[in-house]
Amino acid sequence: MDVFNNAFLLVLSLAGLIWAIKGMKEKLRLMVFFGVILMLAPVLILMGWVSGLPLVSSVAFAATLFVRKESKNA
């Protein structure tokens, strides 16, 4: 059963990576936010660093700051 849990967490992490990259290409901050969360949380769980999970949202928010839409007025 442990193998299935690890496989599921890896699939979630891969989906998060795809969401983060797609969000960066289309400059969608919310998609990047959830993509980074989906990417980092399973990795931390697999590594046994459950105490680092509260930092995932801060890292995801920092990643969204790199995605900026260009204003139409400028």
pLDDT band at 8 (very low <50, low <70, confident <90, very high): very high
pTM: 0.81
Residue with the bigger pLDDT between 39 and 72: it is 39
Determine the number of helices (DSSP H) and then strands (DSSP E) in the chain.
3, 0
The average confidence (pLDDT) of the chain is 87
- 35 or 70, greater pLDDT: 35
Which is nearest to 66 in space by CA: 13, 18, 21? 21
**pLDDT one-digit tens code per residue, 17-26:** 999 999 999 8
* pLDDT above 70: residue 70: no
- Residue 55, domain member (yes or no): yes
Q: Which domain holds residue 10?
A: 2-65
Does the residue 73 lie in any domain? no
Q: Is the pLDDT of residue 69 over 70?
A: no
Q: Is residue 19 part of a domain?
A: yes
